[in-house]
Amino acid sequence: MDIKIISGLVRIKNLSEFLRTLNKISSLNSVIIQALDADKIAGEQHIRFAVKKATIAMETHINVANDFGVEIMRYAAGERQIEKAFSIGLHEGDNRAAFVIVGDKQDVSLASNNILEIINERPLIDYSASKRESIISKFNITEPEIEVVGEDKIPKLVIERVALVDILK
């Protein structure tokens, strides 16, 4: 299984139509594609850990979502409930997006090329101070926690939240 993450800017006029386009790319290339709000992603390790947790959940039948892409989103959002996980998804209008593509290497490569045709590629997934407020709000990270571990550990706190999805109910 190969995982590729592409990030960039995308303007979505009609969310349903955009999601249908992603589903078409996914089906044509036999891959899973999950689109996420890059402003709520604390780095590549965050996404890769969420994919790993979602894969384990599907393989051991402890998944909450029936769809692997939604399960990835659920872990990336640090949420047990699917509805709450959608808060880390895309919306109509301008988006700073991260696309997670999972499948066989050649299929992932082909799907990546299709994604690059509909976005303006930019490196948006690394954690930066500009994401601080949206991330600490999304993942309920408190100022006392940050004081203890330091600002530079905010991405680690996010990964901790992802790790605890199955434990905290």
- φ, ψ for residue 13, nearest 5 deg: -80, -40
Classify 166 as helix, strand or coil: coil
| Distance between CA atoms of residues 115 and 121, nearest Å | 9
| Distance between CA atoms of residues 59 and 121, nearest Å | 32
| Distance between CA atoms of residues 111 and 103, nearest Å | 10
pLDDT of res. 40: 95
pTM over 0.75: yes
* 21-67 pLDDT, tens digit each: 999 999 999 999 999 999 999 999 999 999 999 999 999 998 999 99
| Domains defined along the chain, listed by start | 2-163 (3.30.2380.10)
The residue type found at 161 is R
pLDDT of res. 169: 52
Which segments in the chain show pLDDT lower than 50? Answer: none
pLDDT of res. 77: 95
Residue 66 has a CB neighbour count (10 Å cut-off) of 9
